[in-house]
Amino acid sequence: MGLSRVFIANRGEIAVRIIRAARSLGIETVIGVSSADTDTLGARLADRTVVLGPPDAGRSYLNERLIVQAALASGCDAIHPG
């Protein structure tokens, strides 16, 4: 049983690189973003985008509980922390 879907808990250029690498390996991508980042390149490239919370990083990108919940709810096999 291999990796089929990865949750990307990062943003910016790193997230884009992860998405492109995963795609080349046939792995689906789900990216977690804040409400302010729903139209970023990473959000557009990922197979699915999940809004974690408000623009404040402490209430979205840095909230481990939300990230794990979002990864589980979206059926991800792994989390890439960036």
Walk me through the domains of the chain, giving residue ranges and CATH numbers: 5-80 (3.40.50.20)
Q: Which long-range contacts (CB under 8 A, 24 or more apart) does 61-70 make?
A: 61/9, 61/11, 61/32, 61/34, 66/32, 67/7, 67/9, 67/32, 70/7, 70/30, 70/32
For the stretch 29-80, pLDDT in tens is 999 999 999 999 999 999 999 999 999 999 999 999 999 999 999 999 999 9
Contacts of 77 (CB under 8 A, 6+ apart): 3, 4, 5, 6
User: At 24, is the pLDDT very low, low, confident or very high (cuts 50, 70, 90)?
Assistant: very high
Distance separating alpha carbons of residues 2 and 15, to the nearest angstrom: 21
| 10-19 tens-digit pLDDT | 999 999 999 9
